[in-house]
Chains A and B, each alone.
Chain A
Amino acid sequence: MKGRRLKYLVAGGIVVAALVGMIYSGVKESVVYFYTPSELTQKKDSVEGKSLRVGGMVVDGSLKWDPQALLLTFQLTDGQGVVIVRHKGTAPDLFKEGAGAVVEGTWTRDGYFRSSNIMAKHSEEYKPPVHPETLESKKELFKSILKEGKP
Protein backbone atom coordinates (compact mmCIF):
# COMPACT_ATOMS: atom_id res chain seq x y z
CA MET A 1 0.00 0.00 0.00
CA LYS A 2 2.83 2.40 0.92
CA GLY A 3 4.54 2.04 -2.48
CA ARG A 4 1.28 2.60 -4.32
CA ARG A 5 0.57 5.72 -2.30
CA LEU A 6 4.01 7.16 -3.02
CA LYS A 7 3.69 6.41 -6.73
CA TYR A 8 0.42 8.31 -6.94
CA LEU A 9 1.74 11.19 -4.87
CA VAL A 10 4.71 11.61 -7.22
CA ALA A 11 2.54 11.29 -10.33
CA GLY A 12 -0.05 13.64 -8.83
CA GLY A 13 2.67 16.16 -8.03
CA ILE A 14 3.86 16.08 -11.65
CA VAL A 15 0.32 16.62 -12.97
CA VAL A 16 -0.33 19.52 -10.57
CA ALA A 17 3.05 21.09 -11.41
CA ALA A 18 2.31 20.75 -15.14
CA LEU A 19 -1.12 22.37 -14.64
CA VAL A 20 0.24 25.26 -12.59
CA GLY A 21 3.07 25.78 -15.08
CA MET A 22 0.74 25.82 -18.07
CA ILE A 23 -1.78 28.13 -16.41
CA TYR A 24 0.99 30.51 -15.31
CA SER A 25 2.79 30.61 -18.66
CA GLY A 26 -0.56 30.52 -20.44
CA VAL A 27 -1.83 33.64 -18.71
CA LYS A 28 1.50 35.37 -19.23
CA GLU A 29 2.03 34.33 -22.82
CA SER A 30 -1.18 33.56 -24.63
CA VAL A 31 -3.22 36.54 -23.48
CA VAL A 32 -1.03 38.71 -25.72
CA TYR A 33 0.19 35.95 -28.01
CA PHE A 34 1.43 38.45 -30.58
CA TYR A 35 1.61 42.21 -31.06
CA THR A 36 0.21 43.90 -34.15
CA PRO A 37 2.62 45.93 -36.30
CA SER A 38 1.02 49.21 -35.17
CA GLU A 39 1.35 48.24 -31.48
CA LEU A 40 5.00 47.43 -32.04
CA THR A 41 5.77 50.70 -33.85
CA GLN A 42 4.21 52.60 -30.95
CA LYS A 43 6.26 50.98 -28.22
CA LYS A 44 9.40 49.88 -30.02
CA ASP A 45 11.80 51.52 -27.57
CA SER A 46 10.41 49.74 -24.54
CA VAL A 47 10.49 46.28 -26.14
CA GLU A 48 13.92 46.57 -27.79
CA GLY A 49 15.90 43.37 -27.34
CA LYS A 50 13.01 41.46 -25.72
CA SER A 51 11.79 38.31 -27.45
CA LEU A 52 8.22 38.64 -28.63
CA ARG A 53 5.85 37.82 -31.49
CA VAL A 54 4.40 40.05 -34.20
CA GLY A 55 1.45 38.98 -36.33
CA GLY A 56 -0.05 40.46 -39.47
CA MET A 57 -0.42 40.11 -43.23
CA VAL A 58 2.60 39.85 -45.50
CA VAL A 59 2.58 43.01 -47.67
CA ASP A 60 2.19 42.28 -51.39
CA GLY A 61 5.43 42.83 -53.29
CA SER A 62 7.54 43.13 -50.12
CA LEU A 63 8.89 39.59 -50.06
CA LYS A 64 12.56 39.29 -51.08
CA TRP A 65 14.80 36.23 -50.87
CA ASP A 66 18.57 36.53 -50.97
CA PRO A 67 19.88 33.03 -51.77
CA GLN A 68 23.53 34.01 -51.07
CA ALA A 69 22.91 35.22 -47.52
CA LEU A 70 19.88 32.91 -47.00
CA LEU A 71 18.05 36.04 -45.94
CA LEU A 72 14.30 36.50 -46.22
CA THR A 73 13.03 40.10 -46.01
CA PHE A 74 9.40 41.17 -45.95
CA GLN A 75 6.92 43.56 -44.37
CA LEU A 76 4.07 42.75 -42.01
CA THR A 77 1.01 45.00 -41.72
CA ASP A 78 -2.27 45.24 -39.85
CA GLY A 79 -3.59 47.89 -42.21
CA GLN A 80 -2.14 50.78 -40.18
CA GLY A 81 1.39 50.02 -39.03
CA VAL A 82 4.12 48.29 -41.03
CA VAL A 83 7.06 46.35 -39.61
CA ILE A 84 10.10 45.30 -41.64
CA VAL A 85 11.11 41.71 -40.84
CA ARG A 86 14.40 39.97 -41.59
CA HIS A 87 14.63 36.22 -41.26
CA LYS A 88 17.63 33.91 -41.68
CA GLY A 89 16.52 30.73 -43.40
CA THR A 90 13.39 29.47 -45.08
CA ALA A 91 9.71 29.87 -44.28
CA PRO A 92 6.80 27.37 -44.11
CA ASP A 93 5.14 26.44 -47.42
CA LEU A 94 1.98 28.38 -46.65
CA PHE A 95 3.91 31.57 -45.95
CA LYS A 96 3.27 33.87 -48.92
CA GLU A 97 2.50 37.46 -49.87
CA GLY A 98 -1.01 38.48 -48.92
CA ALA A 99 -1.30 35.66 -46.37
CA GLY A 100 -1.14 35.86 -42.57
CA ALA A 101 2.01 35.22 -40.56
CA VAL A 102 3.26 35.36 -36.97
CA VAL A 103 6.99 35.85 -36.43
CA GLU A 104 9.05 35.25 -33.27
CA GLY A 105 12.15 37.29 -32.55
CA THR A 106 13.33 40.67 -31.31
CA TRP A 107 12.94 44.30 -32.32
CA THR A 108 16.38 45.71 -33.15
CA ARG A 109 17.80 49.20 -32.80
CA ASP A 110 18.30 49.33 -36.57
CA GLY A 111 14.59 49.61 -37.22
CA TYR A 112 13.68 46.09 -38.22
CA PHE A 113 12.41 42.94 -36.53
CA ARG A 114 14.91 40.09 -36.43
CA SER A 115 12.89 36.91 -36.77
CA SER A 116 14.08 33.55 -35.55
CA ASN A 117 10.90 31.68 -36.41
CA ILE A 118 8.13 32.23 -38.98
CA MET A 119 4.69 30.71 -38.53
CA ALA A 120 2.06 30.85 -41.27
CA LYS A 121 -1.45 31.72 -40.10
CA HIS A 122 -4.35 30.58 -42.24
CA SER A 123 -8.04 31.45 -42.19
CA GLU A 124 -10.97 29.32 -41.06
CA GLU A 125 -12.23 29.02 -44.65
CA TYR A 126 -11.99 25.75 -46.52
CA LYS A 127 -12.83 25.39 -50.19
CA PRO A 128 -11.86 23.09 -53.04
CA PRO A 129 -9.77 24.29 -56.01
CA VAL A 130 -11.76 26.00 -58.79
CA HIS A 131 -11.44 22.89 -60.93
CA PRO A 132 -11.69 20.18 -58.32
CA GLU A 133 -9.55 17.16 -58.94
CA THR A 134 -12.07 14.34 -58.87
CA LEU A 135 -11.35 10.64 -58.77
CA GLU A 136 -12.30 10.51 -62.44
CA SER A 137 -9.80 13.20 -63.37
CA LYS A 138 -7.12 11.44 -61.31
CA LYS A 139 -7.77 8.26 -63.32
CA GLU A 140 -7.58 10.26 -66.54
CA LEU A 141 -4.25 11.77 -65.47
CA PHE A 142 -2.98 8.31 -64.57
CA LYS A 143 -4.01 7.02 -67.99
CA SER A 144 -2.34 9.90 -69.78
CA ILE A 145 0.90 9.26 -67.90
CA LEU A 146 0.84 5.55 -68.66
CA LYS A 147 -0.15 6.29 -72.27
CA GLU A 148 -2.51 3.35 -72.29
CA GLY A 149 -3.03 1.64 -75.60
CA LYS A 150 0.05 3.23 -77.10
CA PRO A 151 3.28 1.41 -77.78
Chain B
Amino acid sequence: MARLSFAARLHGGAAALLLAVGLYWGLLAVPADAFQGEVQRIMYLHVPSVSTAYLAILVTFCASILYLWKRDLRIDAVAHSSAEIGVVFLGITLATGAIWGKPTWGVWWTWDARLTVTAIVFTMYVGYLMVRAFAEEPQAGARYGAVLAVLGLPAIILNHFAVQWWRTLHQPSSLIRPGGPSVAPVILWPLVFNIVAMLVLYSYFLLERVRLERIRHRAAESRLKRGRRG
Protein backbone atom coordinates (compact mmCIF):
# COMPACT_ATOMS: atom_id res chain seq x y z
CA MET B 1 0.00 0.00 0.00
CA ALA B 2 2.45 2.64 1.15
CA ARG B 3 4.33 2.57 -2.11
CA LEU B 4 7.38 4.74 -1.62
CA SER B 5 9.46 5.54 -4.65
CA PHE B 6 13.17 4.78 -4.49
CA ALA B 7 13.97 8.47 -4.96
CA ALA B 8 11.80 9.52 -2.01
CA ARG B 9 13.40 6.91 0.24
CA LEU B 10 16.87 8.01 -0.84
CA HIS B 11 15.89 11.64 -0.17
CA GLY B 12 14.64 10.88 3.35
CA GLY B 13 17.67 8.73 4.08
CA ALA B 14 20.03 11.46 2.91
CA ALA B 15 18.32 13.99 5.20
CA ALA B 16 18.62 11.64 8.19
CA LEU B 17 22.27 10.87 7.44
CA LEU B 18 23.20 14.55 7.01
CA LEU B 19 21.44 15.47 10.26
CA ALA B 20 23.23 12.65 12.10
CA VAL B 21 26.63 13.86 10.84
CA GLY B 22 25.69 17.46 11.69
CA LEU B 23 24.59 16.40 15.17
CA TYR B 24 27.91 14.66 15.83
CA TRP B 25 29.91 17.56 14.37
CA GLY B 26 28.10 20.24 16.34
CA LEU B 27 27.68 18.40 19.64
CA LEU B 28 30.93 16.49 19.98
CA ALA B 29 33.57 17.15 17.36
CA VAL B 30 33.91 20.90 17.77
CA PRO B 31 34.83 23.13 20.75
CA ALA B 32 32.05 25.35 22.14
CA ASP B 33 32.18 29.15 22.12
CA ALA B 34 34.69 30.58 24.61
CA PHE B 35 32.28 33.11 26.15
CA GLN B 36 29.06 31.08 26.31
CA GLY B 37 30.39 27.59 26.89
CA GLU B 38 28.51 24.42 25.95
CA VAL B 39 25.06 26.05 25.60
CA GLN B 40 26.28 27.71 22.39
CA ARG B 41 25.79 24.29 20.74
CA ILE B 42 22.06 25.09 20.61
CA MET B 43 23.08 27.39 17.76
CA TYR B 44 23.51 24.37 15.44
CA LEU B 45 19.78 23.78 15.84
CA HIS B 46 18.37 27.30 16.28
CA VAL B 47 20.04 28.92 13.26
CA PRO B 48 19.28 26.07 10.78
CA SER B 49 15.64 26.07 11.99
CA VAL B 50 15.18 29.76 11.41
CA SER B 51 16.97 29.62 8.03
CA THR B 52 14.64 26.79 6.98
CA ALA B 53 11.58 28.67 8.26
CA TYR B 54 12.62 31.74 6.23
CA LEU B 55 13.04 29.60 3.10
CA ALA B 56 9.66 27.96 3.71
CA ILE B 57 8.01 31.39 4.02
CA LEU B 58 9.81 32.55 0.87
CA VAL B 59 8.61 29.47 -1.07
CA THR B 60 5.04 30.10 0.15
CA PHE B 61 5.36 33.74 -0.91
CA CYS B 62 6.60 32.91 -4.44
CA ALA B 63 4.10 30.08 -4.97
CA SER B 64 1.26 32.32 -3.75
CA ILE B 65 2.16 35.11 -6.18
CA LEU B 66 2.39 32.52 -8.95
CA TYR B 67 -0.98 31.08 -7.92
CA LEU B 68 -2.67 34.48 -8.02
CA TRP B 69 -1.34 34.83 -11.55
CA LYS B 70 -1.93 31.32 -12.96
CA ARG B 71 -4.84 30.18 -10.71
CA ASP B 72 -3.44 26.64 -10.72
CA LEU B 73 -4.24 24.55 -7.61
CA ARG B 74 -1.06 22.50 -8.12
CA ILE B 75 0.98 25.66 -7.44
CA ASP B 76 -1.21 26.44 -4.45
CA ALA B 77 -0.43 22.96 -3.07
CA VAL B 78 3.25 24.00 -2.87
CA ALA B 79 2.34 27.25 -1.06
CA HIS B 80 0.07 25.49 1.44
CA SER B 81 2.56 22.65 2.09
CA SER B 82 5.51 24.99 2.58
CA ALA B 83 3.53 27.16 5.01
CA GLU B 84 2.71 24.13 7.16
CA ILE B 85 6.37 23.08 7.32
CA GLY B 86 7.32 26.70 7.98
CA VAL B 87 5.10 26.71 11.09
CA VAL B 88 6.90 23.59 12.36
CA PHE B 89 10.33 25.21 11.92
CA LEU B 90 9.19 28.55 13.35
CA GLY B 91 7.92 26.64 16.39
CA ILE B 92 11.30 24.93 16.76
CA THR B 93 13.01 28.31 16.37
CA LEU B 94 10.94 29.84 19.18
CA ALA B 95 11.39 26.80 21.46
CA THR B 96 15.17 26.43 20.97
CA GLY B 97 15.55 30.22 21.23
CA ALA B 98 13.85 30.20 24.63
CA ILE B 99 15.95 27.25 25.81
CA TRP B 100 19.09 29.07 24.63
CA GLY B 101 17.96 32.37 26.14
CA LYS B 102 17.49 31.08 29.68
CA PRO B 103 21.13 30.06 30.38
CA THR B 104 22.68 32.96 28.40
CA TRP B 105 20.41 36.02 28.79
CA GLY B 106 18.82 34.79 32.00
CA VAL B 107 15.25 34.83 30.63
CA TRP B 108 13.21 32.42 28.49
CA TRP B 109 11.47 35.29 26.75
CA THR B 110 11.48 39.09 26.45
CA TRP B 111 9.50 41.41 24.19
CA ASP B 112 12.34 42.89 22.16
CA ALA B 113 11.86 43.64 18.46
CA ARG B 114 13.43 40.41 17.15
CA LEU B 115 11.44 38.11 19.43
CA THR B 116 8.20 40.06 19.01
CA VAL B 117 8.38 40.01 15.21
CA THR B 118 9.20 36.27 15.24
CA ALA B 119 6.17 35.59 17.46
CA ILE B 120 3.98 37.71 15.15
CA VAL B 121 5.20 35.84 12.04
CA PHE B 122 4.53 32.49 13.77
CA THR B 123 0.98 33.55 14.72
CA MET B 124 0.41 34.85 11.17
CA TYR B 125 1.23 31.45 9.66
CA VAL B 126 -0.87 29.60 12.26
CA GLY B 127 -3.65 31.92 11.05
CA TYR B 128 -2.80 31.03 7.44
CA LEU B 129 -3.23 27.31 8.20
CA MET B 130 -6.55 28.02 9.90
CA VAL B 131 -7.81 29.99 6.91
CA ARG B 132 -6.87 27.05 4.70
CA ALA B 133 -8.60 24.54 6.96
CA PHE B 134 -11.67 26.76 7.27
CA ALA B 135 -12.24 27.35 3.55
CA GLU B 136 -14.73 24.89 2.12
CA GLU B 137 -14.08 25.71 -1.53
CA PRO B 138 -10.45 25.00 -2.57
CA GLN B 139 -10.08 27.98 -4.92
CA ALA B 140 -11.40 30.39 -2.29
CA GLY B 141 -9.07 29.03 0.41
CA ALA B 142 -6.13 29.27 -1.97
CA ARG B 143 -7.01 32.89 -2.76
CA TYR B 144 -7.36 34.00 0.88
CA GLY B 145 -4.18 32.17 1.80
CA ALA B 146 -2.24 33.73 -1.07
CA VAL B 147 -3.27 37.23 -0.02
CA LEU B 148 -2.02 36.52 3.53
CA ALA B 149 1.20 34.91 2.26
CA VAL B 150 2.14 38.07 0.34
CA LEU B 151 2.97 39.55 3.78
CA GLY B 152 5.59 36.82 4.27
CA LEU B 153 8.43 38.54 2.43
CA PRO B 154 8.14 41.93 4.21
CA ALA B 155 7.82 40.02 7.49
CA ILE B 156 11.14 38.17 7.14
CA ILE B 157 12.91 41.31 5.85
CA LEU B 158 11.56 43.20 8.87
CA ASN B 159 12.76 40.42 11.16
CA HIS B 160 16.22 40.41 9.62
CA PHE B 161 16.67 44.15 10.13
CA ALA B 162 14.85 44.29 13.50
CA VAL B 163 18.16 43.75 15.31
CA GLN B 164 19.74 46.66 13.42
CA TRP B 165 16.92 49.18 13.43
CA TRP B 166 15.95 48.81 17.10
CA ARG B 167 17.68 48.16 20.39
CA THR B 168 17.20 44.51 21.24
CA LEU B 169 18.39 41.91 23.72
CA HIS B 170 18.98 39.56 20.79
CA GLN B 171 22.43 40.08 19.30
CA PRO B 172 22.83 41.33 15.69
CA SER B 173 23.12 38.86 12.81
CA SER B 174 26.23 36.67 12.84
CA LEU B 175 26.06 35.28 9.31
CA ILE B 176 24.50 37.76 6.87
CA ARG B 177 26.21 41.00 7.84
CA PRO B 178 28.49 43.60 6.28
CA GLY B 179 32.09 42.41 6.62
CA GLY B 180 31.19 38.72 6.52
CA PRO B 181 30.28 36.25 9.28
CA SER B 182 31.48 37.02 12.82
CA VAL B 183 31.83 33.32 13.53
CA ALA B 184 35.20 31.56 13.75
CA PRO B 185 35.71 28.91 11.01
CA VAL B 186 35.62 25.92 13.41
CA ILE B 187 32.11 26.99 14.49
CA LEU B 188 31.03 28.31 11.09
CA TRP B 189 31.59 25.07 9.13
CA PRO B 190 29.41 22.77 11.22
CA LEU B 191 26.82 25.56 11.31
CA VAL B 192 26.70 25.80 7.50
CA PHE B 193 26.63 22.01 7.29
CA ASN B 194 23.68 21.84 9.67
CA ILE B 195 21.83 24.52 7.70
CA VAL B 196 22.28 22.46 4.52
CA ALA B 197 21.14 19.27 6.31
CA MET B 198 18.00 21.02 7.60
CA LEU B 199 17.24 22.35 4.10
CA VAL B 200 17.50 18.80 2.70
CA LEU B 201 15.02 17.69 5.38
CA TYR B 202 12.74 20.60 4.40
CA SER B 203 12.82 19.61 0.73
CA TYR B 204 11.94 16.03 1.70
CA PHE B 205 9.03 17.20 3.87
CA LEU B 206 7.85 19.52 1.09
CA LEU B 207 7.81 16.82 -1.61
CA GLU B 208 5.94 14.39 0.66
CA ARG B 209 3.45 17.08 1.75
CA VAL B 210 2.79 18.08 -1.88
CA ARG B 211 2.31 14.38 -2.68
CA LEU B 212 -0.37 14.25 0.03
CA GLU B 213 -2.14 17.24 -1.50
CA ARG B 214 -2.04 15.54 -4.93
CA ILE B 215 -3.58 12.30 -3.62
CA ARG B 216 -6.33 14.27 -1.84
CA HIS B 217 -6.99 16.20 -5.05
CA ARG B 218 -7.29 12.97 -7.04
CA ALA B 219 -9.60 11.49 -4.41
CA ALA B 220 -11.80 14.59 -4.59
CA GLU B 221 -11.97 14.27 -8.37
CA SER B 222 -12.83 10.60 -8.09
CA ARG B 223 -15.60 11.40 -5.60
CA LEU B 224 -16.93 14.10 -7.94
CA LYS B 225 -16.98 11.68 -10.87
CA ARG B 226 -18.79 9.08 -8.80
CA GLY B 227 -21.33 11.65 -7.63
CA ARG B 228 -22.11 12.67 -11.19
CA ARG B 229 -22.55 9.07 -12.31
CA GLY B 230 -24.74 8.08 -9.37
A adjacent to B, CB under 8 Å = yes
Q: Interface on A for B, CB 8 Å cutoff?
A: 8, 11-12, 15-16, 18-19, 22-23, 25-26, 29-34, 55, 91-95, 102, 117-130, 132-135
Q: Which residue of B104, B127, B133 contacts A120 across the interface (Cβ within 8 Å)? A: B104
B84-92, B183-191, B201-209 - interface stretch: B183-191
What's the Cα separation between A33 and B107 when bound, in Å?
A: 15
Count, A-B residue pairs, CB within 8 A: 126
**Complex Cα–Cα for A124 and B104 (A):** 13
Select the stretch in B65-73, B163-171, B213-221 that faces chain A. B163-171
> Are A19 and B33 within 8 A (Cβ)?
no
Contact residues, B45-86 vs A (CB, 8 A)? none
Let me know if B33 and A126 touch, CB within 8 A: yes
Closest residue of B by beta carbon distance from A130: B34
B16 at the A interface (CB under 8 A): no
User: Min CB distance, A96 to chain B, in Å?
Assistant: 10
Give, as a whole number of angstroms, the nearest-CB distance from B214 to chain A.
Answer: 25
How far apart sit A30 and B105, CA to CA, in the bound complex (Å)?
A: 17
- Pairwise interchain contact B113-A126, C-beta atoms closer than 8 A: no
Q: From residue A3, how far is it (CB to closest CB) to chain B in Å?
A: 13
Report how far A80 CA is from B35 CA in the complex, Å. Answer: 26
Answer yes or no: B124 CB below 8 A from chain A CBs: yes
Known contacts A8-B133, A19-B124, A23-B120; decide if A125 and B174 are in contact (CB<8 Å): yes
Contact B36–A94 (Cβ < 8 Å): yes
B123 contacts partner chain A, Cβ-Cβ < 8 Å: yes
Known contacts A30-B166, A125-B174, A129-B34, A22 near B187 by CB under 8 Å: no
* Assembly CA distance A127 to B112 (angstroms): 25
Cβ of B139 under 8 Å from chain A: no
Question: Cβ of A93: which chain B residues have Cβ within 8 Å of it?
Answer: 103-104
In the bound complex, residues from chain A placing their C-beta under 8 Å from that of B174 are: 124-126
Q: Are A133 and B116 in contact (CB under 8 A)?
A: no
Contact of A26 among B28, B111, B130, B133 (CB under 8 A): B111
Report how far A12 CA is from B105 CA in the complex, Å.
Answer: 33
Of A15, A118, A120, A132, which contacts B123 at CB under 8 A?
A15
Give the residues in chain A near B119, CB-CB below 8 Å: 22
Give the 10 A-B CB pairs with smallest separation, nearest first.
Answer: A92-B106, A132-B31, A26-B116, A127-B184, A30-B113, A128-B31, A124-B171, A124-B174, A129-B34, A8-B134
Q: Which of B106, B116, B126, B182 has the most CB of A within 10 A?
A: B106
Q: Do A26 and B169 contact each other (CB < 8 Å), given the known contacts A18-B123, A125-B182?
A: no
Q: List, in ascending order, chain B residues with CB within 8 A of A117's CB.
A: 106-107
- Known A33-B166, A122-B171; contact A133-B183, beta-carbon cutoff 8 A: no
A95, B106: Cβ atoms closer than 8 Å: yes
**Contact: B104 with A122, CB < 8 Å?**
yes
Minimum C-beta distance from B104 to chain A (A): 5
Does B196 touch A at the CB level, under 8 Å? no
